[in-house]
Amino acid sequence: MAEKSFKYVIVGGGVSAGYAAREFAKQGVQPGELAIISKEAVAPYERPALSKAYLFPEGAARLPGFHVCVGSGGERLLPEWYTEKGISLILNTEIVKADLASKTLTNFGVQGADSKNIFYLREIDNADKLVEIIKAKKTGTAIVVGGGYIGLELSAVLKINNFDVKMVYPEPWCMPRLFTADIAAFYEAYYAKKGIDIIKGTVAVGFTSNDNGEVKEVKLKDGRVLEADIVVVGVGARPLTNLFKGQVEEEKGGIKTDEFFKTSLPDVYAVGDVATFPMKMYGDIRRVEHVDHSRKSAEQAVKFYGDNVGDAVIFGDHDPASAKPKFGSYWIKDGKVVGAFLEGGAPEENQAIAKVAKLQPSASSLDVLAKEGLEFASKI
């Protein structure tokens, strides 16, 4: 890429980039002042679609249908929108060096391909390749590595595509950073009921291939070997902080910022899951790995629904066999409700649950919360 100069540069073309561009436009950025540099070939899009509707066998989502900012009910920002606003979209360009003191970036060429039939679902190109192999094979055994959001979503959509699915993750239950064992038990039982095999407490340590170089087996740390036609690594992406190593303060695996997402260097901001920022509600700093945070932090208006610390209580119908299960959980710390969760709730019920997490009301006991359930939230 020839040398170019901009007043503002967004490194990365993820969800936050699109929402930040929209906010820049609202604030009156002038044509030619802002650039978005992305190693992908497309304008920013709602990344969660890659592990959901993008892989559906029928009626699959495709661009331009899920460009940002449709995920929050906003206008869809097509490539021409950036042109109209005078925002430079520099695509197919990976930044490999960042000198924040001199405010210069150095780009690099194309990345190498992954092993055959082993997919890392990080970008739309990965999803396209996975769609191709799903259509080509039509059925078979799919191994999903990871028990978080992405692993759960991938397992569900691969099952819809008529694959035998096995999930592998090292934790004692799925989504341990968010779910209690009781909440996780509901989802694990629900997935098992749908025919998805869950293998917990171990990790993939190797793969073997056939004569065509396609994966055929997954070796687990506990000694088991699983046959595989497709392997999808759904453990999410680690925050990309290496570019800025030694130039900005880091903490808890991310780039440390203040409440306005400013880093330790003037004129340098970090948003999305790369940012570790103060949450005054909890008197702590956190790094949040969720798409809603990427959307909101890009606009500097962060919205949260509490935390999963302290003692927890579950309420409602959490039987996986129920036709329409609806249940929730409250987390209590120091006599206050600091977190809340709800599955199967109506919009007004979700709003009530969110209000509980925000206001952190006092709670006399776990037993009272278990008995009152949603009624407790409706009274706040």
Q: What is the CATH number of the domain that holds 209?
A: 3.50.50.60
Does residue 251 sit within a domain?
no
Q: Provide the number of structural domains found in the chain.
A: 3
Of 79, 110, 141, the residue at which a domain comes to its end is 110
Give residue 212's domain range. Answer: 118-233
**103 and 156 share one domain:** no
Question: 98 and 176 share a domain?
Answer: no
139 and 221 together in one domain: yes
The verdict on residue 286 lying in a domain is: no
Query: Does some domain include residue 297?
Result: no
**pTM passes above 0.75:** no
**208 shares its domain with 131:** yes
Instruction: Give the pLDDT of residue 42.
Output: 92
233, 264, 296 — which closes off a domain?
A: 233
Question: What is the per-residue pLDDT for 252?
Answer: 79
The dihedral sign for the CA sequence 266, 271, 277, 278: positive
Same domain? 133 vs 226? yes
The per-residue pLDDT for range 1-31, each reduced to its tens digit, is: 446 789 899 999 989 999 999 999 998 899 9
Residue 356 sits in a domain of what CATH number?
3.30.390.30
What's the rounded Cα separation, in Å, for the pair 305 and 345?
A: 14
Residue 161 lies in a domain: yes
In this structure, the answer to whether residues 91 and 122 fall within a common structural domain is no
Residue 82 and residue 125 share a domain: no
pLDDT in tens, the chain (380 residues): 446 789 899 999 989 999 999 999 998 899 999 999 998 889 999 998 998 899 999 889 999 999 999 988 899 999 999 999 999 998 878 787 787 877 777 654 322 224 589 887 778 888 999 999 999 999 999 999 989 888 999 999 999 999 999 999 988 999 887 889 999 999 999 999 999 999 999 888 778 888 888 889 988 889 899 999 999 987 655 555 677 888 888 887 788 888 778 888 888 888 877 888 877 656 677 776 655 545 555 444 222 245 566 789 999 999 988 988 999 999 998 999 988 989 988 889 989 998 998 899 999 889 999 999 999 999 98
